Homo-oligomer: A and B are copies of this chain.
Amino acid sequence: MALRVAVAGASGYAGGEVLRLLLGHPEIEIGALTGGSNAGARFGTLQPHLLPLADRVLEPTTPEVLAGHDIVFLGLPHGQSAAVAEALGEDVLVVDCGADFRLKDAATWEKFYGSPHAGTWPYGLPELPGHRAALKGTKRIAVPGCYPTAVSLALFPAYAAKLAEPEAVIVAASGTSGAGKAVKAHLLGSEVMGSMSPYGVGGGHRHTPEMAQNLGPVAGEPVTVSFTPTLAPMPRGILATCSAKAKPGVTAEALRAAYQEALAGEPFVHLLPEGQWPQTSSVYGSNAALIQVALDEHAGRIIAISAIDNLVKGTAGGAVQSMNIALGLPEELGLPMNGVAP
């Protein structure tokens, strides 16, 4: 019998992508679709690419509407998830695509998000050591940020093998859907096409502490993260270029072996053959993460690069993958492994 799912925030990019994936998931039945200011609208005018749901009507995000589902996905603005989750029963699986339950440290949360800390839920990045186990059977999942997903997957093998110094320098390019569907002048097509632009420079981006939280425990020492995000003229995709000084004596062979070991058996995270580098087009629409690593011997640095689709492995796909684990379903169920290219 199919599990019944509600999606709160169904008119946004995260909500839409959750629905696209769940429409192909054999154990799921789509229940309520809710939204804020768009409530009452025909869903086909909001997400015209989701044809099977075109005749649905968006409902308001209320406890009554969300009641009666086995699973509820939240794609809400920061700070709104806690109240909605509380109104749902403890036996409902709640998957929060927002940031509210990602960070463990309350002071860090308050510094970067400016609101009271709501708590911490099991973190939906099963590839990180220890996390897959924590997701099994859980009723609450905090879906990671898109950048922390890309960066953590690229760097954790180096830190797990104690090959990298604990100062990571990261520059990542993201497609514009990462900025969401809210209308802002700098996100107009006329502004973004043909342009690369940085933002949140100098340590201010909210995903920075999330990366440090992921990598430190793996490294066994605190990892300082310098993170610069940039907006790229494409709708989807993250290319994360991550580097750190190599610890003394690290060889290219040891580096590659560490990545092979750390990523062995992962269904969605692939270390590419030597000499082939990830590109975001290869994972367009797919839940795969492509990884490559090199040792720059002259500069003494490890360079690890990952490519993901920010809306799939970076949000909705990671969410569904974690849902599968929580429910005891096969981890790959309903998740695309192939990109839509060219």
Contacts and interface: CB of A to CB of B under 8 A. Distances in A.
A35 interface: no
Contact of A173 (B23, B48, B196, B279): B196
A198 B16 contact: no
A342 interface: yes
A49 interface: yes
A198 to B, nearest CB: 5
A134 interface: no
Interface in A309-326: none
A105 interface: no
Interface in A292-342: 292, 294-301, 303, 305, 307, 336-342
Contacts of A177: 190, 342
B234 A196 contact: yes
Nearest to A192: B189
A120 interface: no
B51 A203 contact: no
Given A224-B298, A342-B190, A195 B237 contact: yes
A193 interface: yes
A176 B198 contact: no
A283 interface: yes
Interface in A78-108: none
A179 B177 CA distance: 21
A48 B42 CA distance: 38
Contacts of A20: 338, 340
Nearest to A186: B279
A183 interface: yes
Given A48-B279, A282-B48, A193 B235 contact: yes
A193 to B, nearest CB: 5
Interface stretch (A2-10, A57-65, A270-278): A270-278
Contacts of A52: 337-338
Nearest to A305: B198
Among A234, A272, A292, max chain B CB count under 10 A is at: A234
Among A188, A241, A270, A295, max chain B CB count under 10 A is at: A188
Given A188-B189, A224-B300, 13 more contacts: A23-B337, A48-B339, A54-B270, A171-B228, A176-B342, A183-B185, A194-B194, A196-B239, A197-B279, A203-B296, A235-B341, A235-B342, A285-B340
